[in-house]
Amino acid sequence: MASRTACFGSARPLTTRVCRRSLVTRASAGSARPQRKRPEYIPNRIDDPNYVRVFDTTLRDGEQSPGATLTSKEKMEIAKQLQKLGVDVIEAGFPIASPDDFEAVRSIAMEVGNNVDADGYVPAICGLSRSREADLERAWDAVRHARHPRVHVFLATSPIHMEHKLRMTPDQVIRQAVESVKHLRSLGCKDIEFSPEDATRSHPTFLYEVLAEVIKAGATTLNIPDTTGWSLPHEFQVLRGLITDLRANVHGANDVIFSTHCQNDLGLSTANSLAGAMGGARQVECTINGIGERAGNASLEEIVMAIALRGERQLGGLWTGINPVHIAVTSKMVCDYSGMPVQPHKAIVGANAFAHESGIHQDGMLKSRDTYEIMTPESIGLARASGVGLVLGKHSGRHALSTRLAELGYGDLPAERVAELFRRFKDLADKKKDIADEDLLALVQDGVHQPEAVWALGDLQVVCGSMGLPTATVKLIGPDGLPRVAAGMGTGPVDAAYKAIDSLVRVPARLVDYSMNGVTEGIEALAVTRVIQA
Ligand SMILES: CC(=O)SCCNC(=O)CCNC(=O)[C@H](O)C(C)(C)COP(=O)(O)OP(=O)(O)OC[C@H]1O[C@@H](n2cnc3c(N)ncnc32)[C@H](O)[C@@H]1OP(=O)(O)O
Ligand SMILES: CC(C)C(=O)C(=O)O
């Protein structure tokens, strides 16, 4: 236990240093690429043993999210953005699914798949296919004009899928998998990914057998899909054993890349993907914002930032070619085009990911940002909306309020005035969830321009509707501090209230005009009221 504490104690500052050096520098350099040059794209080999390929499947698995259909134009825009982000492989769709999907994959392969970026890099473009000749040919047709065309063929290997869905015996599955890989080879495809669907619920010896056979047939990437999100991270790490066995026993297994594809049914997709990478996978499949079938897929931004922040020291030196400064824009684009909103507390890209509402946190942030932030918003391409991202609300303290007031130009208010504003701010925050800048300005200006109160409002009750006369009952606290109550009737609720007030203050007047303009937004908004009496 003692050594564990020591380990965590010494790791934190180092992590922060890594973050500051490798991310903030990169973020401030705008669109600069990661400092290391990523290895050349070779289908079955990566020349840097620590480099993890990022395979983005937003346009395929992501699009399988119910309600997330993308048009071809939107897919093209996203693909271009994914290239900017630095993904290694773009799975652009499932070409047999529809003529439109075929066309989307084909045009992405032609355009993005041949667009050499400033560093001489072009992403591989991949099409998904079932283990059927017509599918394979359609997928190959769609991607073949890319500089690095890839076909991803899948066939389920778990007993439940083989028996109930495919209605095939294990022998038939092996034969069909091998024939598919060979067929792709015969078409001229040299970059072949094979996925034993539902791998994590497959029998380990059968899984081994299928993988060994497809390696011999010519597959270049072997993906281990956790199709139902069933796996636990420590189980995913046993991938190391599978890889070691295959490499020791199967000719050609040293020249293939292993991959993860983790669904999020138990919320473990990021953890499983990282465990897989620790186990030897050098490709991670993921989607922007974690969208995907059912509970979604592993989230690209989570995996990438975990590797960026912790890869150097805690993940054995792993790194990716992603330039995190493009994450925020990509996330927003996918959110807008897919219509899949990002939950506010989503890691990395949620609206609250860099927001601080509690007084103690805000105090810490004001003193030093790394008290509560392990990365900067700038590192993922977000400009801070204001100051250090403080959200003022009922848990905020004086430090945060004074800082925001100073940022709004009220840095020289006397201490008593700040104390009074703090009290009114807390009252308002009890009624209103977030206090916006406009709320604060209204509070400050209200105090500055208010005449001194002689009568104070105690309570007010108004009854009005389509039946009868509007009536108001008002309780006022007089100059002597004593309460007085009166009722009035009027042409409307405001007129009735003023009639009641008039009867108490005994300054006869007639309501001439009344208007109310919202200063802030929402149902708890502050408003400016204008009353003209004669
Ligand atoms: C785990 C995953 O995410 S896999 C990807 C899932 N994505 C999608 O399904 C989206 C796109 N899909 C589609 O547009 C359609 O399902 C199509 C065009 C692919 C197929 O449509 P249909 O021919 O009408 O078949 P349908 O979808 O109803 O049924 C699937 C068939 O494929 C078979 N099948 C499923 N997986 C595979 C596979 N990997 N290889 C070969 N056949 C398969 C099923 O057993 C079933 O066969 P059957 O018709 O002989 O019973
Ligand atoms: C096609 C495969 C990789 C897949 O999406 C899954 O198994 O979830």
Evaluate if residue 157 carries a pLDDT over 60.
yes
In this predicted model, what pLDDT tens digit does every residue of 432-469 receive, in sequence order?
777 877 788 778 766 544 556 788 889 999 998 887 78
The preferred substitution site among 263, 269, 286, 287 for testing ligand 2, maximizing ligand atoms within 8 Å of CB, is: 263
Ligand 2 pocket, CB under 6 A: 61, 154, 195, 197, 223, 225, 227, 261, 263
CA dist., res. 437 & res. 409, Å (int): 11
pLDDT at 524: 61
Just give the CATH number of 34-338. 3.20.20.70
For residue 132, the CA-to-ligand 1 centroid distance in Å is 10
Ligand 1 atom nearest the C-alpha of 135 is: 19
Interior/surface letters 429-452, b for 16+ CB within 10 angstroms, e for the rest: beebeebbeebbbbbbeeeeeeee
Which residue puts its alpha carbon closest to atom 15 of ligand 1? Answer: 97
- Measured in Å, residue 293 CA sits from the centre of ligand 2 at 9
Position 83 scores a pLDDT of: 97
The β-bridge relationship of strands 456-463 and 471-477 is: antiparallel
Ligand 1, CB cutoff 6 Å, lining residues: 64, 94, 96-97, 130-132, 154-155, 165-166, 197, 227, 293
Spatial separation of the C-alpha atoms in residues 418 and 331, rounded to whole Å: 39
Nearest Cα neighbor of 138 from 80, 183, 198 is 183
For residue 154, how far is its CA from the centre of ligand 2 (angstroms)?
7
**Per-residue pLDDT, 130:** 98
CA angle, residues 390, 395, 401, in degrees to nearest 5? 50
Q: Ligand 2 center to residue 60 CA distance, Å?
A: 10
Phi, psi of 128 (to 5 degrees): -90, 150
Give the burial class of 3: count Cβ atoms within 10 A of its Cβ; 0-12 exposed, 13-18 middle, 19 or more buried: exposed
Q: 179-184: list long-range contacts, CB under 8 Å, 24+ apart.
A: 179/131, 180/129, 180/131, 180/132, 180/136, 180/153, 180/155, 181/153, 181/214, 181/217, 181/218, 181/219, 182/217, 182/218, 183/133, 183/136, 184/136, 184/140, 184/151, 184/153, 184/218
Helices (H) and strands (E) in the chain, counts: 18, 13
Residue 390's DSSP bridge partners are: 356
Pick the ligand that lies closest to the CA of residue 198: 2
Domain with CATH 3.30.160.270 in the chain: 456-533
Q: Quick check: ipTM above 0.95?
A: yes
Quick one: which of 194, 214, 276, 219 has its CA closest to 242? 276
What's residue 523's pLDDT?
63
Using one digit for the tens of pLDDT, what is the confidence trace for 249-274? 999 999 999 999 999 999 999 999 99
Percent of the chain with pLDDT over 90: 66
Residue 133 Cα to ligand 1 midpoint, Å, equals 13
- Look at domain 456-533 and name its CATH class: alpha beta
Taking only the tens place, the pLDDT of each residue in 261-315 is 999 999 999 999 999 999 999 999 999 999 999 999 999 999 999 999 999 889 9
Coil/strand/helix, residue 156: strand
Ordered DSSP codes for 206-227: HHHHHHHHHHHHT-SEEEEEET
- 203 phi and psi angles, rounded to 5 deg: -70, 125
Task: Report residue 409 as tokens.
Answer: 């130009």
By most ligand atoms within 8 Å of CB, the mutation choice from 165, 183, 293 for ligand 1 is 165
Mind listing the pLDDT tens digit for each residue in 65-74?
988 889 999 9
What spacing in Å lies between the alpha carbon of 284 and ligand 2's midpoint? 12
Atom of ligand 1 nearest to the CA of 61: 3
For CATH 3.20.20.70, list the domain ranges present in the chain.
34-338
**CA 77 – ligand 2 centroid, Å:** 24
Q: Name the token pair of 487.
A: 């009722």
If we measure between CA atoms, which residue out of 442, 443, 449, 391 comes closest to residue 420?
A: 443
Assign 192 a pLDDT band (cuts: 50, 70, 90): very high
> Which runs of E-coded beta strand occur in 364-469?
456-463
The pLDDT of residue 11: 30
